[in-house]
C-alpha cells in the first residue's frame, strides 16, 4: 500500500524533502516530483503491513526539521567557513593564495 | 577600585542574536543541540522553539546556556568565532601529524586456530609466512617518514612471538634510528601470551615494550573462542597477564575481548574476569563484519540489535562497579566521551573523519604488502584487495600514501559532506569507517539509514548521553574517562 503527501513549495525546498526522505529510507522509499508550487511525494513503505499514515506523519515532521536545518546552514555558512579558515590557518593544511 | 567589573558589564546589550553553526536531533521529547565542535546541550521543546524562531530575550538562563555553548552570539561579538576556531584546530590537529600507529605483521603463523580469525596460518614453514629482515627495514623507513611526532610500532600476527627474533631486531634498529629522529617512540606486542617466556619478559623490560593480549572472559568461553593444542588458551593468557603485571608493572599489559555469539548474555561474567585479573579497563566491542566472521555464521554471527543489550548491560554494570569503589573503564565509551566532553580527538581509527585508514594507522604485512587498516588486511585474505596500498619492495612512500586506494575512500567517506551525516548532531563523535561500509555494502560511504555502523553508534551515543545526564556520580565518572 502506498500513501501520498504534498508539501507547499514556498515553505519547503525539494532539497529538504529529499533529505527527509533519505533519513527515513530504512522504512520508506519515495517518488518525489515538483508540481506547480508544490512538491508531490508518493510514499512506499518497506514493510507491507506498515502504518502508512504514521510514516507520512514522520516524514512531515522530518521535512519541518530539514527546513530548519537548511535555514541554519544558510544563516551560518559564512561564520562556519570563517571558523574553519581560522582553525586551519598556519597548520600547513591550507595553501596560501599569495 | 573594585577588582571585578559590575555584573551589568557582562550582561548582553541587546537581543540581536546571530546563530552560530549547530546541529540538532530530537531524542525522547527533548532536543540535543551540538555546536560546530561537538559541545552539547539539551533543550526542551519550548526552548528549542524559541531558538529556532529567533525569539530569544536579551538575557535569560537559556540565552546564557546557548552563548556558553557557542550556539548563538551577540551581533558583532568575535570572541565565540575565535574560541570555536581554537577548539576546531585542537580537534583536527592530528591531520597535520598523520600516521601514529604502525602495525608490523611479524608472522602469520599461529598455534591457535580461532574460527573467526581471518589471517592466521597453521604452518611450521617459517620462511613462508614470517616477515623478513629486509622487509622490516623498509617498513621502518616508512615508519620514520610519518609526520607524527608520536610513533607507536605494534607487532601483530598470527602470533608475532613466533618471529621474536625479528621483533628484537626491529626494536633495536628503531631505537637506534630514533636517537637522531627524536620521536616519542613506543612499542606494543599483540600476543596471546601462550609463548611468553623469560627472554620475552626481559626484552620487554629492557625496551619498555607494552603487551596487548586477548581475554574473552571466563575460561570456557575463551577456550571455545580460541582453540589450541591442550585447550588451555585461557590458562596461559591469565598466567601471562599476571606475570607481566608482577614482573613489568600493572600498566604494562592490557586486554581486548572478542564478542562472539556465545558471549552475548554473559557480559557480567566477562567483566568479572577482568576485575579478578586486576585489569582496570575492558573494551566491549562487536565482532567486525569481515571475512570468516561473516562466513562462519554458525559460530559468530549476530546483528547490532543483539549486541546493543550486551553493551548496555555491561556499561551499567561497570558504572555500578565504579560506584562500589572498583575502578573499571569501558574503553569504547571512553573514546566517545573524550570526543563528546573535550575538544581533543583520540584518533581512534573507526571514529574519525577523515577516516583513520592510512593516516591514523597503517599495516605492513609480512610479505611487504601495505594496507590502510587491519580490517583491510583481513578483507584481502578473503580475496578483496581494495585497501591494499602497495608493496614496500615496489612502491615508494609517496606512491603508497598518495595512492587512489587510500585517497579514494578517504574522500568518498568524509562525513562532513555525507548524506545524513552532514546534518547529524552526533557527527562530531562519529567516524567514516569506509572499510566497514565497503565490506557490508560495496561502497565506501554506505547508506546511513540502513548502516549497522550508524545504528550501533547512534545507540551508543544516546546511551552515553542518557547515563551522563542521569546522576552526578556517572557524570563525574564519565568526565574522568574523557580526560584519560
What are B397-425's pLDDT values in tens digits? 999 999 999 999 999 999 988 999 999 99
Range of the domain at A70: 3-89
What are the DSSP calls for B108-162, one per residue? SB-S---TT-SS-B----HHHHBPPHHHHHHHHHHHHHS--SEEEEEEESS-GGG
Q: Which of B56, B73, B91 is the last residue of a domain?
A: B91
In a domain, A95, yes or no: no
A interface test, pick of B80, B414, B449 with most A CB neighbours within 10 Å: B449
Nearest Cα residue in chain A from B26? A65
Contact A22 B419 (CB under 8 A): yes
In a domain, B278, yes or no: yes
Q: Which helix (H) or strand (E) holds B30?
A: strand B30-35
Range of the domain at B43: 15-91
In a domain, A98, yes or no: no
**Cα–Cα dist B107/B83, whole Å:** 48
In a domain, B5, yes or no: no
All residues at 6 or more sequence positions from B134 whose CB lies less than 8 Å from its CB, including other chains: none
In a domain, B277, yes or no: yes
Collapsing DSSP states into helix, strand and coil, what is residue B266?
A: coil
Q: Is A60 on the interface with B (CB under 8 A)?
A: no
Interface ipTM > 0.85: yes
In a domain, A75, yes or no: yes
Nearest to A87 among B23, B89, B449 (CB): B89
Nearest Cα residue in chain B from A74? B21
| B70 and B110 fall within a common domain | no
| B293 and B338 fall within a common domain | yes
Lowest mean pLDDT among A18-32, B94-108, B285-299, B317-331: B285-299
Strand partners, B105: B156
Contact B96 A72 (CB under 8 A): no
| B369 and B248 fall within a common domain | yes
Across the beta sheet with A38-45, the strand order is: A3-8, A38-45, A28-34
In a domain, A39, yes or no: yes
- How many angstroms away from the CA of A36 is the closest CA of chain B? 27
Contact A92 B96 (CB under 8 A): yes
| B186 and B85 fall within a common domain | no
| B335 and B197 fall within a common domain | yes
pLDDT at A34: 94
Q: Is A15 on the interface with B (CB under 8 A)?
A: no
| B390 and B371 fall within a common domain | yes
- CATH code at A62? 3.30.70.60
Q: Which of B26, B60, B91 is the last residue of a domain?
A: B91
| B29 and B128 fall within a common domain | no
Kindly give the pairing relationship between strand B17-19 and strand B72-74: antiparallel
In a domain, B320, yes or no: yes
- How many angstroms away from the CA of A42 is the closest CA of chain B? 19
- How many angstroms away from the CA of B143 is the closest CA of chain A? 21
Contact B92 A80 (CB under 8 A): no
Lowest mean pLDDT among A31-40, A81-90, B48-57, B435-444: A81-90
Contact B449 A66 (CB under 8 A): no
Residues of chain B found within 8 Å of residue A23, distances taken between Cβ atoms: 420, 449
Contact B21 A80 (CB under 8 A): yes
In a domain, B272, yes or no: yes
| B240 and B331 fall within a common domain | yes
| B37 and B168 fall within a common domain | no
Nearest to A86 among B26, B82, B419 (CB): B82
- Is the dihedral angle over the CA atoms B147, B153, B156, B160 positive or is it negative? positive
Nearest to A80 among B36, B92, B423 (CB): B36
Lowest mean pLDDT among B105-119, B267-281, B466-480: B105-119
Record the pTM.
Answer: 0.92
Give per-residue pLDDT as tens, B423-471.
999 999 999 999 999 988 899 999 999 999 999 999 999 999 999 999 9
Give per-residue pLDDT as tens, B47-81.
999 999 888 888 899 999 999 999 999 988 899 99
Work out how many domains chain A is built from and give that number: 1
Nearest Cα residue in chain B from A68? B52
In a domain, B151, yes or no: yes
B interface test, pick of A15, A79, A82 with most B CB neighbours within 10 Å: A79
Q: Which of B354, B383, B401 is the last residue of a domain?
A: B401
| B215 and B324 fall within a common domain | yes
Contact B24 A26 (CB under 8 A): no
Mean pLDDT on A14-41: 96
| B41 and B103 fall within a common domain | no
Work out how many domains chain B is built from and give that number: 2
Pick from A24, A98, A95, A88: which is nearest to A61 by CA?
A24
In a domain, B424, yes or no: no
**Residue ranges of B 425-484 with Cβ closer than 8 A to chain A:** 447, 449-450
In a domain, A94, yes or no: no
In a domain, A97, yes or no: no
In a domain, A30, yes or no: yes
**Residue ranges of B 39-68 with Cβ closer than 8 A to chain A:** 52
In a domain, A7, yes or no: yes
- Is the dihedral angle over the CA atoms B120, B246, B102, B355 positive or is it negative? positive
Nearest Cα residue in chain B from A64? B52
Nearest to B88 among A75, A87, A92 (CB): A87
Nearest to A82 among B81, B89, B447 (CB): B81
Nearest to A79 among B20, B23, B96 (CB): B20
Contact B420 A91 (CB under 8 A): no
Q: Which helix (H) or strand (E) holds B476?
A: helix B472-482
- CATH code at B135? 3.20.20.70
pLDDT at B12: 64
Nearest to B92 among A25, A69, A87 (CB): A87
Give per-residue pLDDT as tens, B177-214.
999 999 999 999 999 999 999 999 999 999 999 999 99
Interface A-B, measured as beta-carbon pairs within 8 A, has a size of 68
Collapsing DSSP states into helix, strand and coil, what is residue B388?
A: strand
| B185 and B44 fall within a common domain | no
What are the DSSP calls for A29-91, one per residue? EEEEEE-SSEEEEEEEESSTTS-HHHHHHHHHHHHHHHHHHHHHHHHHHHHHHHHHHHHHTTT
Q: Is B305 on the interface with A (CB under 8 A)?
A: no
Amino acid at each position: 500500500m502506498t500513501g501520498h503527501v504534498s508539501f507547499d513549495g514556498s515553505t519547503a525546498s525539494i532539497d529538504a524533502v529529499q533529505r527527509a526522505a533519505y533519513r527515513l529510507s530504512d522504512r520508506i522509499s519515495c517518488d518525489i516530483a515538483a508540481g506547480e508550487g508544490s512538491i508531490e511525494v508518493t510514499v512506499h513503505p518497506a514493510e507491507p503491513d506498515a502504518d502508512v499514515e504514521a510514516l507520512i506523519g514522520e516524514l512531515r515532521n522530518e521535512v519541518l526539521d530539514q527546513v530548519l536545518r537548511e535555514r541554519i546552514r544558510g544563516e551560518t555558512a559564512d561564520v562556519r567557513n570563517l571558523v574553519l579558515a581560522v582553525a586551519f590557518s598556519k597548520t600547513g593544511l591550507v595553501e596560501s593564495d599569495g | 577600585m573594585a577588582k571585578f567589573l559590575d555584573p551589568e558589564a557582562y550582561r548582553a546589550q541587546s537581543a540581536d542574536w546571530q546563530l552560530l553553526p549547530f546541529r540538532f536531533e530530537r531524542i525522547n521529547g527533548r532536543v540535543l543541540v551540538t555546536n560546530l565542535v561537538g559541545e552539547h546541550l539539551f533543550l526542551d521543546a519550548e526552548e528549542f522553539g524559541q531558538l529556532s524562531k529567533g525569539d530569544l530575550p536579551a538575557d535569560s538562563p537559556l540565552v546564557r546556556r546557548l552563548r556558553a555553548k557557542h550556539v548563538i552570539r551577540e551581533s558583532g561579538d568575535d570572541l565565540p568565532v575565535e574560541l570555536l576556531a581554537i577548539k576546531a584546530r585542537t580537534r583536527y590537529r592530528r591531520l597535520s601529524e598523520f600516521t601514529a600507529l604502525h602495525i608490523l605483521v611479524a608472522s602469520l603463523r599461529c598455534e591457535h586456530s580461532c574460527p573467526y580469525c581471518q589471517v592466521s596460518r597453521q604452518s611450521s614453514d617459517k620462511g613462508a609466512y614470517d616477515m623478513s629482515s629486509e622487509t622490516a627495514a623498509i617498513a621502518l623507513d616508512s615508519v620514520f617518514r610519518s609526520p607524527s611526532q608520536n610513533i607507536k610500532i605494534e607487532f601483530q600476527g598470527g602470533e608475532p612471538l613466533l618471529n621474536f627474533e625479528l621483533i628484537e631486531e626491529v626494536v633495536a634498529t628503531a631505537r637506534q634510528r630514533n636517537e637522531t629522529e627524536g620521536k616519542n617512540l613506543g612499542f606494543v606486542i599483540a600476543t596471546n601470551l601462550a609463548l611468553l617466556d623469560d627472554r620475552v619478559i626481559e626484552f620487554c623490560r629492557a625496551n619498555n615494550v607494552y603487551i596487548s593480549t586477548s581475554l574473552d572472559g571466563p575460561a570456557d568461553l575463551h577456550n571455545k573462542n580460541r582453540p589450541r593444542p591442550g585447550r588451555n588458551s585461557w590458562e596461559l593468557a591469565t598466567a601471562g597477564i599476571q606475570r607481566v603485571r608482577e614482573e613489568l608493572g600493572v600498566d604494562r599489559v592490557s586486554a581486548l575481548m572478542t564478542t562472539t555469539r556465545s558471549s552475548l548474555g554473559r557480559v557480567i561474567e566477562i567483566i568479572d574476569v577482568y576485575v579478578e585479573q586486576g585489569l582496570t579497563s575492558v573494551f566491549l566491542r562487536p565482532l567486525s563484519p569481515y571475512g570468516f566472521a561473516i562466513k562462519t555464521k554458525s559460530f559468530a554471527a549476530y546483528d547490532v540489535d543483539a549486541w546493543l543489550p550486551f553493551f548496555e548491560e555491561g556499561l551499567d554494570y561497570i558504572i555500578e562497579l565504579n560506584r562500589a569503589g572498583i575502578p573499571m573503564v569501558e574503553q569504547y565509551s571512553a573514546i566517545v566521551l573524550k570526543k563528546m566532553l573535550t575538544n581533543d580527538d583520540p584518533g581512534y581509527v573507526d571514529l574519525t573523519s577523515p577516516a583513520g585508514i592510512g593516516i591514523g594507522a597503517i599495516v605492513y604485512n609480512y610479505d611487504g604488502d601495505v594496507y590502510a587498516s587491519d580490517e583491510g588486511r583481513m578483507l584481502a585474505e578473503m580475496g578483496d584487495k581494495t585497501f591494499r596500498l602497495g608493496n614496500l619492495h615496489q612502491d615508494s612512500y609517496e606512491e603508497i600514501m598518495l595512492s587512489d586506494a587510500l585517497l579514494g575512500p578517504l574522500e568518498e567517506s568524509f562525513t562532513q559532506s555525507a548524506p545524513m551525516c552532514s546534518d547529524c548532531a552526533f557527527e562530531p563523535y562519529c567516524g567514516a569507517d569506509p572499510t566497514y561500509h565497503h565490506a557490508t555494502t560495496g561502497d565506501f560511504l554506505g547508506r546511513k539509514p540502513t548502516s549497522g555502523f550508524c545504528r550501533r553508534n547512534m545507540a551508543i551515543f544516546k546511551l552515553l548521553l542518557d547515563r551522563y545526564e542521569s546522576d552526578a556520580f556517572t557524570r563525574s565518572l564519565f568526565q574522568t574517562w574523557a580526560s584519560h
